[in-house]
Structure formats: C-alpha cells, structure tokens
Amino acid sequence: MSSIETVDIAVIGAGLGGAAAMALLDHAGFSVHTFEQAPEFHRIGAGIHIGPNVMKIFREIGLEERLATIGSHPDFWFSRDGNTGEYLSKIRLGDFAKKEYGAPYITIHRGDMHAVQIEALPQDRVHFGHKLTAIDEREDDVLLSFDNGRRVAAKLVIGADGINSAIREMLLGVEKPRFSGWVGHRALVNVEKLRASGLEFEACVKWWWEASRHIMAYDTKGDGSEYYYVTGVPVDGWEHDTAFVDSSREEMEAIFGNSHPVVNALIDATEEVTKWPFWSRDPLNLWSRGRLCLLGDACHPMRPHMAQGACMAIEDAAVLTRCLTECGTENYGEAFQLYEQTRLERATRVQTISNANTWLKEPEDPAWVYAYDPLTAPLG
Ligand code: FAD
C-alpha cells in the first residue's frame, strides 16, 4: 500500500468552480492542492456567459483582462420571438454593464476560459489523472484515495466535483441526479455560411418558441470568428448513459425549421451538433459536514437557462475563501457554516429561476445578479 502524503486543503475537481477555488485559496495564502480525474482537458465545442458578478472575481486573481480580450462583449442580451423575430426584451450589457455592474459581461468559448484558469494555477499542485475513489473521515483529517493508488490526508476537502460528486455522496448518500426532461443541442456553426447569408447575427440573442423551447446564440470570440448556439428542448426521456450524443442538422430542422429567416440560416450553417441531457437536484439541505464542504454543481446543479451555473460555482469559491480567511482553517466548522449562510439563498434563487427558464425573456432588471460583488458582499 502507498504511503500517505499530507496537504492542508484538497479541492476535488478542477472544473470551472474547482479551478477558481484553487486560484482564490492560493491567492489568499492557503496551501491548496487540486485533484482532477481527467488526464487533461480538451476544447469541447461549447460557449459560456460570464457575468460582471464573476468578472470581478477574475479581476481579483488577475485573469479579467485576458478573458476580456479573448471573449465577446455583447451590448445587449436580446430575447426574440423565434417565428416573427419580434423583440421581447433588450437587456443592456456592454459599456452599461461595466458602469452599472462594475465589470464587463462576456461570452466566451468555455474551453478557452478553462485553459486560462488552469494555466494560471501553480502547476505542481494541480494533479490530473486522480479520480477520487474513497473518502475516510478521520479524527484529525480526511484520507482520500485515488484510482492511481495515491493516498492523501487533507485537513479540509472541498468537493468541486460536479453533479455526480463523490463528496456529495459521502455527505448525503447515493442518489442519481434527476433528468430534468430537457435536452440542449450545442453547435459551433460555420461562420462563413452565416456571412454568406447576408443576414445579421446578433452577438447575444435568445430565440423563443412556445413551451419555452429556445435557442441561445452568441459569439464566443471578440473578433467575431466563432458563433455558437445552445438549445433547450423538452423531451420524453433520456436513455443514453453517455454525457452527450451526436445530433444532426436534420434534427434541428425538425425541431426549429420554418422559423424566422435568421434562425433558418443558423440551422443551415450547422455542421456538427451534439445533444446533452440537463440534470438537476432539489436544493441540498447540507452543504458541509466536518471537514468536507461542497461548491458549484456538486451542491446546486441547475438547468443552464440563466447562464449562471458556473458563475454560481465561482461565486461559491470566492465566498468560501473569504469565510476561511475570516474564521481561519482551524475553525473550519464556523467557516463552512458562514459560507452556507451567505450562499444558500442566492444560489437557490438562481437555481430556481434557471430551472424555470424565465430569465430575461421579458424586460427585467438583472442588477441583483450582475451588480453583486462576491468579494465584498456581507457574509452571513
Ligand atoms: P464541473 O465543471 O462539472 O467540474 C467538475 C470537475 O470535477 C470535472 O472536471 C470532473 O472531471 C471532476 N471530477 C468529478 N468527479 C471526480 C472525482 N471522483 N475525482 C476527481 N475529479 C472529479 N454556466 C454559466 O455560468 N454560464 C453559462 O453560459 C453556462 N452555460 C451552460 C450551458 C450548458 C449546455 C450546460 C450543460 C451548462 C452551462 N453552464 C453555464 C453551467 C456550468 O457549465 C456548470 O454550472 C459548471 O460547469 C459547474 O462547475 P463545477 O466546477 O461545479 O463542476
């Protein structure tokens, strides 16, 4: 049996939330290691919105400028009727967001953002190819065992290991997430074909049909060289045991064909498209126990329709870091409680609205989401 190494804080998972947690904890002076099951990350075709609420956090860890340079800065989030093109809402972003909310609103390829996050971490403390397989809560630490035989004793363990979290399972027992009844198709479309259509493709627009079916389309690069969409479509069930399956332009035509000319052109420019199930859980009544604590999708997974799931994971990381700084790692119980008290209401509210898929469909003030500053908001 391998010898046991010791670390202060172990973050399980180097996804968007785990990478942020490691950066923030490291930045605050904690000794932290991250263990990620994947041997490496790939640039899988998908985009992401990052609100000003989270760009403030990236500012804190020195990544705001790089992300802002790569990403697109839409002036508006438009909501439009998928058949007639009528504008249902025009939510101001761009310079307005910078001024009113304190940071830019960007849309970006999630692989590009994740790569920036990972590159900025102390590489000798990010451990790829480490799948957590066993957790033993002991008197003075937690013994973590990985599938490669390595064993690590950590004073504190942060479960940033996503919707099928092993740490959540340890706290609350085995329970598969619930299929939400919705899938999303994701595609990076052929931009040359879009241009050839002579139509205008707005930098950030959500097209809506009856029963909340939709296509959210946006730029993932500031230079306009990439255009992406993700759909939301209700279905009867999900029988596959893979994270996603291939879809096709024909399937997109069957669902969204004969719509507004811009939508038709978008579908026409679709070459490769994949289909993803959306999973969810009810809000958890336990975010931590002893030396174990959850963040992000491990804790509050949601359908992605508010474009705030990763943002909530990264906000969690910022608040958790503040709580550990304020209370000290030796008072971890107090810190974890303060963290949950600070995060529960906001994360649950976002989770509920995101699952309901109503966000910005009609004119509304998004300031409570975007103007929030996780670095200065009152704790508790
Ligand atoms: P994850 O990103 O899932 O990371 C978990 C990590 O843990 C993974 O790297 C995984 O390999 C690792 N892991 C799991 N188990 C183990 C183990 N046993 N041992 C070691 N490592 C492990 N959010 C936004 O903010 N804006 C958007 O625009 C947006 N759009 C979205 C569109 C779609 C179609 C979807 C599906 C989601 C979208 N989201 C968006 C939500 C966002 O992707 C998630 O909320 C976010 O990825 C959660 O981050 P996380 O770090 O908690 O989990």
Q: What is the pLDDT of residue 108?
A: 98
> Given ligand 1 and candidates 161, 180, 182, which is best to mutate, with the most ligand atoms within 8 Å of its CB?
161
- Counting every residue, how long is the chain? 380
Q: What is the pLDDT of residue 293?
A: 98
Q: What is the pLDDT of residue 44?
A: 83
Residue 16 C-alpha to ligand 1 middle, in angstroms? 6
Mean pLDDT of 318-329: 98
Q: What is the pLDDT of residue 1?
A: 65
The finding on whether 14 has its CB within 6 A of some atom of ligand 1 is yes
Return the ligand 1 atom nearest residue 131 CA.
Answer: 19
Cross-strand pairs, 127: 35
Phi, psi of 193 (to 5 degrees): -65, -40
Residue 265 C-alpha to ligand 1 middle, in angstroms? 30
Nearest CA to ligand 1 atom 43: 310
Residue 160 C-alpha to ligand 1 middle, in angstroms? 9
Instruction: List the structure tokens of 233.
Output: 């479509």
304 pLDDT band (50/70/90 cuts)?
Answer: very high
In this prediction, what percent of the chain has a pLDDT beyond 70?
Answer: 100
Q: What is the pLDDT of residue 26?
A: 98
ipTM of this predicted complex? Answer: 0.97
322 pLDDT band (50/70/90 cuts)?
Answer: very high
Mean pLDDT of 220-243: 96
Q: What is the pLDDT of residues 364-379, one digit of tens each?
A: 999 999 999 999 999 9
Global pTM value? 0.97
Instruction: List the structure tokens of 29.
Output: 């002076």
> Given ligand 1 and candidates 37, 180, 188, 316, which is best to mutate, with the most ligand atoms within 8 Å of its CB?
37
Instruction: List the structure tokens of 299.
Output: 């804790």
As a dihedral over the C-alpha atoms of residue 318, residue 321, residue 322, residue 326, rounded to 10 degrees, the angle is 170
Local structure of residue 216 (DSSP, 8 states): E
**Ramachandran bin of 248, using left for φ above 0, alpha for ψ from -120 to 50, beta for the remaining angles:** beta
Burial letters for 106-137: b for 16+ Cβ neighbours within 10 Å, e otherwise? Answer: bbbbbbbbbbbbbebbeeeebbeebebeebee
Local structure of residue 323 (DSSP, 8 states): H
Q: What is the pLDDT of residue 380?
A: 93
Mean pLDDT of 187-193: 97
Instruction: List the structure tokens of 106.
Output: 């960007």
303 pLDDT higher than 80? yes
The finding on whether 350 has its CB within 6 A of some atom of ligand 1 is no
The finding on whether 16 has its CB within 6 A of some atom of ligand 1 is yes
Q: What is the pLDDT of residues 25-68, one digit of tens each?
A: 999 999 999 999 999 999 987 999 999 999 999 999 999 999 99
Residue 123 C-alpha to ligand 1 middle, in angstroms? 21
The finding on whether 276 has its CB within 6 A of some atom of ligand 1 is yes
Residue 310 C-alpha to ligand 1 middle, in angstroms? 7
Q: What is the pLDDT of residue 2?
A: 75
* DSSP helix/strand/coil, 313: helix
Q: What is the pLDDT of residues 113-157, one digit of tens each?
A: 999 999 999 999 999 999 999 999 999 999 999 999 999 999 999
Q: Is the sign of the CA dihedral 293, 297, 302, 308 positive or negative?
A: positive
Instruction: List the structure tokens of 283.
Output: 């809000």
What is the residue-wise DSSP string for 75-88? Answer: SEEEEEETTT--EE
The finding on whether 162 has its CB within 6 A of some atom of ligand 1 is yes
Nearest CA to ligand 1 atom 4: 15
Return the ligand 1 atom nearest residue 49 CA.
Answer: 28
158 pLDDT higher than 70? yes
Return the ligand 1 atom nearest residue 18 CA.
Answer: 51
Residue 64 C-alpha to ligand 1 middle, in angstroms? 20
Cβ–Cβ < 8 Å for 375, 56: yes
Instruction: List the structure tokens of 198.
Output: 């002579």
Cβ–Cβ < 8 Å for 356, 57: no
Residue 17 C-alpha to ligand 1 middle, in angstroms? 7
Mean pLDDT of 75-83: 98
**Average pLDDT over all residues of the chain:** 97
- H helix or E strand, kind and range, residue 50: strand 47-50
Is residue 239 exposed (0-12), middle (13-18) or buried (19+ Cβ within 10 Å)? exposed
Q: What is the pLDDT of residue 271?
A: 96
Measured distance CA(200)–CA(227) in Å, rounded: 12
The finding on whether 338 has its CB within 6 A of some atom of ligand 1 is no
- Which amino acid belongs to residue 282? D
Measured distance CA(161)–CA(15) in Å, rounded: 7
Instruction: List the structure tokens of 267.
Output: 């579908």
The finding on whether 359 has its CB within 6 A of some atom of ligand 1 is no
Q: Which residues are annotated as catalytic? A: 49, 218
- Among 150, 154, 153, 111, which residue's Cα sits nearest to residue 129? 150
Q: What is the pLDDT of residue 100?
A: 98
The finding on whether 104 has its CB within 6 A of some atom of ligand 1 is no
